[in-house]
Amino acid sequence: MDYERLKKEITEIAAVAGQAPEPYREKCFELLLNQLLRESPPAAGAKKKPDADVPPAVAAQAIDERQGNGLVFPATVKAFMRRTGVAQSEIEAIILVEGSEFHFVREPSHSNISKGQVEWALLIALKNAILNGNAGLSVDAEAVRSVVQDKGFYDNANFAKNFKNAKYAAWFKGTLEPQGDPVTLSVEGEKALASLIKSFKTNDQG
């Protein structure tokens, strides 16, 4: 076993887990460490040969999925990933799933209330798709209201109005109305969700 490599990777895992909210740091570290220990490093000097006749983009996606934390995403989420270029590892970096427990370990941290409200709508749509593929990338206003009240992005007077803002309305295939039915993300909404997911990685590097 390459102990120097193992020590380096454990240090990297500790750094990643340290960026998670305090209640989830220990569990995040444990999950990442377990994944590392399950992986079998190649023999010294061995080179991994790419699968024959597999296009590079498809091979990269398959490798990325095999190196994840064991989550099996529904077809709806995989289709979203392929349409937008989001890697499974990028999604797994912002969530923590254990049994029936689902948490976001990366979340909006700016102070723009209307933007934060709609970003949470995108994230909840992702959560719904992961937990229930049949639901697709859809979200309802009351689920958003509950979260943004807890996260500090709630503007009671303008809650419904924010979803009708021209900038954000195009992100949904319909209008998110209080007490209304779930609405699916549009193509523009999927692009916005992809950008949001990728922005968490960019912010970590910054």
How many CB atoms are located within 10 Å of the residue 81 CB?
20
Task: Kindly list the domain boundaries of the chain, sorted by start residue.
Answer: 1-49, 102-205
Coil, strand, or helix at residue 98?
strand
List beta partners, residue 57: none
For the domain spanning 102-205, the CATH number is 1.10.10
Asked if 148 and 117 touch (Cβ cutoff 8 Å), the reply is yes
* Per-position pLDDT tens, the chain of length 206: 566 777 777 777 777 767 676 666 777 777 777 777 765 454 455 444 444 444 444 444 443 444 444 578 999 999 999 999 999 999 999 999 887 789 999 999 999 999 999 999 999 999 999 998 888 999 999 999 999 999 999 999 999 999 999 999 999 999 999 999 999 999 999 999 999 999 998 766 44
| pTM of the complete model | 0.67
